[in-house]
Amino acid sequence: MFDDVRSEAFQQLHARVAEVARYGAAAAVLGWDQETFMPPKGQPARARQLRALAQLMHQRGTDPQVGKWLAQAEADMRSQGWDPDSDPARFLKVARREYDRATKVPTEWVAEFAQLTSEAKMHWQQARAQKDFTLFAPYLRRIVAMKRDYAAFFAPYDHVYDPLLDAFEPGMKTATVQQLFARLRTEQVALLKAILARPQVDDAFLYRPFPVAQQKAFVRWVLEHMGFDFEAGRLDESAHPFTTGFSVHDVRLTTRYNETDFFGQAFYSSLHEMGHGLYGQGVNPDYEETPLAGGASLGVHESQSRLWENLVGRSRPYLTWLLPHLRQAFPGVLDDVDLDAFYRGVNKVQPSLIRTEADEVTYNLHIMLRLDLEIALLEGSLDVDDLPEVWNRRMEEDLGVRPGNDAEGVLQDIHWAMGGLGYFPTYALGNVMSAQIWQAVRRDLPDLDAQMQAGRFADLLAWLREHIHRYGRKFEPLEVLRKATGQDLQAEPYLDYLRAKYGEIYGL
Amino acid sequence: MFDDVRSEAFQQLHARVAEVARYGAAAAVLGWDQETFMPPKGQPARARQLRALAQLMHQRGTDPQVGKWLAQAEADMRSQGWDPDSDPARFLKVARREYDRATKVPTEWVAEFAQLTSEAKMHWQQARAQKDFTLFAPYLRRIVAMKRDYAAFFAPYDHVYDPLLDAFEPGMKTATVQQLFARLRTEQVALLKAILARPQVDDAFLYRPFPVAQQKAFVRWVLEHMGFDFEAGRLDESAHPFTTGFSVHDVRLTTRYNETDFFGQAFYSSLHEMGHGLYGQGVNPDYEETPLAGGASLGVHESQSRLWENLVGRSRPYLTWLLPHLRQAFPGVLDDVDLDAFYRGVNKVQPSLIRTEADEVTYNLHIMLRLDLEIALLEGSLDVDDLPEVWNRRMEEDLGVRPGNDAEGVLQDIHWAMGGLGYFPTYALGNVMSAQIWQAVRRDLPDLDAQMQAGRFADLLAWLREHIHRYGRKFEPLEVLRKATGQDLQAEPYLDYLRAKYGEIYGL
Query: What is B400-438 written as a DSSP string?
Result: S---SSGGGTTTS-STTTTT-TT-THHHHHHHHHHHHHH
Please give the C-alpha separations between residue B252 and each of A15, B31, B229, B244, B279, in angstroms, as whole numbers.
Answer: 33, 11, 11, 5, 12
Q: Which helix (H) or strand (E) holds A177?
A: helix A174-196
- Closest CB from B39, B52, B247 relative to A233: B39
The answer to whether B286 faces chain A, any CB pair under 8 Å, is: no
The b/e string for A222-245 (b: 16+ C-beta within 10 A; e otherwise) is bbeebbbbeebbbbeebeebbbbb
Strands A243-247 and B243-247: unpaired
Give the confidence band of A152 by pLDDT, cuts at 50, 70, 90.
Answer: very high
Strand ranges in B151-269 using DSSP code E only, listed in sequence order: 233-237, 243-247, 250-255
Q: Do residue B234 and residue A39 have CB atoms under 8 angstroms apart? A: yes
User: What is the model's pLDDT at position B1?
Assistant: 80
Q: Do residue A40 and residue B231 have CB atoms under 8 angstroms apart? A: yes
Q: For B132, what's the count of Cα atoms within 13 Å in the CB-facing half-sphere?
A: 7
CB atoms within 10 A of CB B419: 24
Distance, in Å, from the CA atom of A452 to the CA atom of A436, rounded to the nearest integer, reads: 19
Identify residue A102 by its one-letter amino acid code.
Answer: A
Distance, in Å, from the CA atom of A45 to the CA atom of B18, rounded to the nearest integer, reads: 11
Decide if A169 contacts A430 (C-beta within 8 A): no
The answer to whether B357 faces chain A, any CB pair under 8 Å, is: no
Kindly name the residue from A35, A169, A273, A408 that is annotated as catalytic.
A273
Residue of B220, B247, B286 to mutate, interface with A, max A Cβ within 10 Å: B247
Length of chain B: 508
pLDDT digits (tens, 9 = 90+) for B172-196: 999 999 999 999 999 999 999 999 9
Has this prediction a pTM greater than 0.90?
yes
pLDDT digits (tens, 9 = 90+) for A83-103: 999 999 999 999 999 999 999
Helix, strand, or coil here: A290? coil
- Closest CB from B49, B236, B247 relative to A45: B247
The answer to whether A78 faces chain B, any CB pair under 8 Å, is: no
In order, the DSSP letters of A69-138 are HHHHHHHHHHHHT--TTSHHHHHHHHHHHHHHHHHTS-HHHHHHHHHHHHHHHHHHHHHHHTT-GGGTHH
Checking if the pLDDT of A484 tops 90, the result is yes
Distance, in Å, from the CA atom of B361 to the CA atom of B345, rounded to the nearest integer, reads: 14
- Closest CB from A39, A51, A250 relative to B250: A39
Q: Do residue A288 and residue B45 have CB atoms under 8 angstroms apart? A: yes
Catalytic: B273? yes
The answer to whether B230 faces chain A, any CB pair under 8 Å, is: yes
Omega before residue B477 within 30° of 0, cis: no
Please name the residue ranges forming H helices in B268-315: 268-282, 298-306
Instruction: Give me chain B's average pLDDT, please.
Output: 96
Identify residue B504 by its one-letter amino acid code.
Answer: E
Strands B250-255 and B233-237: parallel
CA distance B502 to chain A (A): 40
Q: Do residue A26 and residue B39 have CB atoms under 8 angstroms apart? A: no
User: What is the model's pLDDT at position B122?
Assistant: 82
Query: Among residues A341, A328, A311, which one has the least CA distance to residue A452?
Result: A311
Q: Do residue A56 and residue B52 have CB atoms under 8 angstroms apart? A: no
Who's near B359: CB < 8 A, 6+ residues apart? B347, B348, B349, B350, B352
Residue of A49, A122, A230, A238 to mutate, interface with B, max B Cβ within 10 Å: A49
Give the confidence band of A470 by pLDDT, cuts at 50, 70, 90.
Answer: very high
Helix, strand, or coil here: A151? helix
Query: Among residues B505, B35, B97, which one has the least CA distance to residue B314?
Result: B505
Q: Do residue A37 and residue B230 have CB atoms under 8 angstroms apart? A: no
Query: Structurally, what CATH architecture does the domain formed by B174-506 represent?
Result: Orthogonal Bundle (1.10)
Distance, in Å, from the CA atom of B287 to the CA atom of B17, rounded to the nearest integer, reads: 11
Ramachandran sector of residue B419 (left: φ over 0; alpha: ψ -120 to 50; beta: rest) = left
Distance, in Å, from the CA atom of B50 to the CA atom of A19, rounded to the nearest integer, reads: 11
Kindly name the residue from B35, B169, B187, B273 that is annotated as catalytic.
B273
Query: Among residues A435, A219, A489, which one has the least CA distance to residue A330?
Result: A219
In order, the DSSP letters of A443-478 are HH-TTHHHHHHTT--HHHHHHHHHHTGGGTTSS-HH
Query: Among residues A220, A54, A40, A207, which one has the least CA distance to residue A122?
Result: A40
* Chain A residues within 8 A of B22 when measuring between CB atoms: 48-49, 51-53
Q: Which helix (H) or strand (E) holds B218?
A: helix B212-226
User: What is the model's pLDDT at position A240?
Assistant: 84
What is the DSSP code (8-state) at residue B264?
A: I
Residue of A107, A247, A248, A289 to mutate, interface with B, max B Cβ within 10 Å: A247
Q: For chain A, what percentages of helix, strand and coil (3-state, to nearest 5) are there?
A: 70, 5, 30
Query: Among residues A316, A311, A269, which one has the least CA distance to residue A460?
Result: A311
Distance, in Å, from the CA atom of A165 to the CA atom of B286, rounded to the nearest integer, reads: 41
The answer to whether B247 faces chain A, any CB pair under 8 Å, is: yes
Distance, in Å, from the CA atom of B100 to the CA atom of A143, rounded to the nearest integer, reads: 43
The parts of chain B modelled with pLDDT lower than 50 are: none
* Chain A residues within 8 A of B42 when measuring between CB atoms: 232, 246-247, 249-250
The answer to whether A213 faces chain B, any CB pair under 8 Å, is: no
The answer to whether A398 faces chain B, any CB pair under 8 Å, is: no
Length of chain A: 508
Query: ipTM strictly over 0.90?
Result: yes
C-alpha B327, offset from chain centre? 31
Q: Do residue A23 and residue B249 have CB atoms under 8 angstroms apart? A: no
* Alpha-carbon dihedral angle through residues A173, A177, A182, A188, given to the nearest 10 degrees: 170
The answer to whether A45 faces chain B, any CB pair under 8 Å, is: yes
Distance, in Å, from the CA atom of A419 to the CA atom of A430, rounded to the nearest integer, reads: 20
Percent of chain A exceeding pLDDT 90 equals: 95
The answer to whether A27 faces chain B, any CB pair under 8 Å, is: yes
Checking if the pLDDT of A444 tops 90, the result is yes
Identify residue B48 by its one-letter amino acid code.
Answer: R
C-alpha B112, offset from chain centre? 25
How many beta-carbon pairs under 8 angstroms link A with B?
115
Helix, strand, or coil here: A249? coil
Just give the CATH number of A174-383+423-506. Answer: 1.10.1370.30
Residue of A14, A16, A33 to mutate, interface with B, max B Cβ within 10 Å: A33
**Closest residue of chain B to A250, computed from CA coordinates:** B42
* Alpha-carbon dihedral angle through residues A48, A52, A54, A56, given to the nearest 10 degrees: 180
Decide if A154 contacts A378 (C-beta within 8 A): no
The answer to whether A122 faces chain B, any CB pair under 8 Å, is: no
**Greatest Cα pair distance in chain A:** 71
pLDDT digits (tens, 9 = 90+) for B45-92: 999 999 999 999 999 999 999 999 999 999 999 999 999 999 999 999
What φ, ψ does residue B104 adopt, rounded to 5°? -75, -20
The b/e string for A349-371 (b: 16+ C-beta within 10 A; e otherwise) is bbbebebbbbbbbbbbbbbbbbb
Omega before residue A156 within 30° of 0, cis: yes
The answer to whether A357 faces chain B, any CB pair under 8 Å, is: no
- Closest CB from B27, B33, B49 relative to A33: B33
Who's near B216: CB < 8 A, 6+ residues apart? B257, B266
Please name the residue ranges forming H helices in A197-313: 212-226, 268-282, 298-306
Distance, in Å, from the CA atom of B424 to the CA atom of B368, rounded to the nearest integer, reads: 8
The answer to whether B288 faces chain A, any CB pair under 8 Å, is: yes
The answer to whether A230 faces chain B, any CB pair under 8 Å, is: yes
Q: Do residue A39 and residue B230 have CB atoms under 8 angstroms apart? A: yes
First-to-final CA distance of chain A:
54
Strands A250-255 and A233-237: parallel
Checking if the pLDDT of A274 tops 90, the result is yes
C-alpha A74, offset from chain centre? 32
Identify residue B91 by its one-letter amino acid code.
Answer: F
**Greatest Cα pair distance in chain B:** 71
* Domain layout of chain A by residue ranges: 8-154, 174-383+423-506
